[in-house]
Chain A
């Protein structure tokens, strides 16, 4: 029993740190609140969809910026999508970089876009790592017979 309590405390602390460091925002809380015993995997499911979506979009963005003549309109459309989906799951830092990225697109600033792309990739890998850790911790608690939802 103590083991589960300790794990739950660690999970709470870890989750709090992700909010504190700006990786996640209120929208992530929203998603967690939508989960219940009948839909236990909802957050993992949505976040997984986000990862797949982000992988695809980052590929597209990399390709688009590798073209001899950059199609800023298409670039912007992809950033817009990434901005939207990151916002929908509460991936706050990715969302913010996407805002800058869209500005670079609007200015047709290739250097700016390249920098933003690097930033997005970096933020994506950070939050992905954090969320995967979070989910692992939750699974550990569930496997031990504990619960993770408020």
Chain B
């Protein structure tokens, strides 16, 4: 769709610094962002940069896998990717070709990146979809449009490997199930939703959250 900051096969990205594990760079958090929408890529890139992250933004799951060295053809030459440093992968769910869910599965199936936190973004807050992603090992699920408060919340995951603690509880209790409503939610929402006053007070909830907007969805 576009060639903005996107790797073209089979060339590797011009700026491989983000992937190097040199001393100066190992402290900087590197995020791989995947979204087929150019507008959304620009926004997520800026959001992450505001939080001092290094960002590589690609336009498809295929390109993401290519960068991570997870395409079948590349797996044999995996020594090329020793030292590849990605601290967080954030991906859109609805993409042509490979969905974010399919990408998530491939990442979690890999030996090299299965511990890397993956966050899914979607404009649609479909509960079964969210559950499916979380069950597959997604760290969090963000409903678009993505805001600074969403990305700030992800800072918990944005630590370099050495600093990051144990992997999350797969039972799913550390949760992700807490929902933050906006003020115009109808009272007939499901019991698992707890309402809050304003979305602009992120300090109210400090564990990973999936924010469901009850308005402006189709």
A residues bordering B, Cβ < 8 Å? 27, 30-31, 33-34, 39, 42, 45-46, 49-50, 53, 77, 80-81, 83-85, 87-90, 95-96, 99, 102-103
A33 to B152: give the CA distance in the assembly, Å. Answer: 14
Q: Which residues of A contact B46 (CB under 8 A)?
A: 34, 39, 42, 46
Q: Is B179 an interface residue (CB 8 A)?
A: no
**Shortest Cβ distance from B42 into chain A, in angstroms?**
5
Least Cβ–Cβ distance between A150 and chain B, in angstroms: 14
Which 4 A-B pairs have CB atoms at the shortest separation, nearest pair first? A85-B39, A99-B218, A88-B145, A27-B145
- Asked if residues B40 and A88 are in contact (CB atoms below 8 Å), the reply is yes
* Minimal Cβ-Cβ distance residue in A for B47: A34
| Distance in angstroms between the alpha carbons of A81 and B144 in the assembled complex | 12
Question: Which chain A residues lie closer than 8 Å to B96 at the CB level?
Answer: 77
B148–A88 CB distance below 8 A: no
Q: How many Å from the CB of B143 to the closest CB on chain A?
A: 10
Report the nearest A residue to B92, measured CB to CB: A84
Q: How many residues of B contact A (CB 8 A)?
A: 20
Interface SS majority for chain B: loop
With A33-B148, A83-B123 as known contacts, state yes or no: A46 contacts B216, CB within 8 Å.
no
A46/B123 in contact, CB under 8 A: no
B218 near A49 with CB under 8 A, answer no
Residues in B with CB closer than 8 Å to A53 are 37-39
In the complex, the answer to whether A88 meets B37 with C-beta atoms within 8 Å is yes
Quick check: B123 and A87 within 8 Å, CB to CB?
Answer: yes
B42–A45 contact, CB under 8 A?
Answer: yes
A89 proximity list for chain B (CB < 8 A): 39, 43
Residue of B nearest to A54 (CB): B39
Q: Who on chain B is nearest to A30 by CB?
A: B147
Contact of B94 with A by CB under 8 A? yes
Would A27 and B147 count as touching, CB distance under 8 A? Answer: yes
A81 near B216: Cβ-Cβ < 8 Å: no
List the B residue with the shortest CB-CB distance to A102.
B218
Q: For the complex, what is the distance from the CA of A31 to the CA of B147, rounded to whole Å?
A: 9
> Which residues of chain B in 13-50 are interfacial with respect to chain A, using CB atoms and an 8 Å cutoff?
37-40, 42-43, 46-47, 50
Among A33, A50, A96, A103, contact of B39 (Cβ-Cβ < 8 Å): A50
Kindly report which residue of chain A lies nearest to residue B217, judged by CB atoms.
A99
In the bound complex, residues from chain A placing their C-beta under 8 Å from that of B216 are: 87, 95-96, 99
What CA separation (Å) do A46 and B43 show in the bound complex?
A: 7
What residues of B have a CB within 8 angstroms of the CB of A46 in the complex? 39, 42-43, 46
